[in-house]
Amino acid sequence: MDLHVWLAYFVAAWVIAISPGSGAVLSMTHGLAYGVRHASVTILGLQAGLSIVLLVAGVGVGALLVASATAFTVIKVLGAAYLLWLGWRQWVAPVAADAPSASSQASPGGSALPPGLPSARQRFVLGLFTNVTNPKGIVFMVAVLPQFISPHRPLWLQLLILLVTSVAVDLVVMHGYAWLASRAQRWLASARARRAQNRVFGGVLMAMGASLFMVKRAAA
């Protein structure tokens, strides 16, 4: 891969990562609720999902999903339903009355133990499915990746470079979102404020889920 091609993709990767989406909302939600350290597992799940989407699009399966009305509809409905469910769970999440913030609670050993913290596996799976069931990501990758892949060079090496670049950039951006959200913990320490936060992020996730029903597949 030529340097100028990689640099162009590097810039595109930053634009893609910074653009608000369900992954950013999930990173901010977990960063605010559990702190950056615990949100890192969620973000790793997001990267696993991103990697799957990129590889699927890169090897051409993504193009098949876009071309096939049935396959695309299944992915779209699954992704929309998942985000609606995730948003509803956030909306109705129980809030302890004026409990200490995530950063102030600690176990006897000194590690943070935020209330209601899902297991590491649950956080990872949440992140993975948030990205892998997003048809917008598949459509976008199918449209973007061909611009940076040369048919005259080994496909696997080019995909590896693009994958590492995308994951590295997204890791930085998602941790940035989580960190910014975690800084707001001191202003969201009351039960009322945390309930409002749950409603805001839950509402955004449900709105994103509903918007997926409007996504159209590319013309064959």
pLDDT at 24: 85
Please state the domain extents for the chain: 3-15+22-212
137-155 residue pLDDT tens? 776 777 677 677 777 778 7
For 60: left if phi > 0, alpha if psi spans -120 to 50, otherwise beta; the answer is left
Mean pLDDT of 92-112: 50
Instruction: Compute φ and ψ for 35, nearest 5 degrees.
Output: 95, 160
Residue type, 69: A
Distance (Å) of CA 198 to CA 8, 48, 155, 191: 37, 25, 43, 10
Instruction: Give the burial string for 132-151 (b: 16+ CB within 10 Å, else e).
Output: bbbbbbbbbbbebbeebbee
Q: What is the pTM of this model?
A: 0.69
Q: What local confidence, expressed as pLDDT, does residue 99 receive?
A: 46
Q: Tens of pLDDT along 151-185?
A: 777 878 888 898 999 999 999 999 998 998 888 76
| Residue 61 pLDDT exceeds 70 | no
Q: How far apart are CA 19 and CA 35, in angstroms?
A: 22
Q: Inform me whether the pLDDT recorded for 43 exceeds 90.
A: yes
Q: Pull the structure tokens for residue 192.
A: 């009322």
Mean pLDDT, range 15-35, rounded to an integer: 82
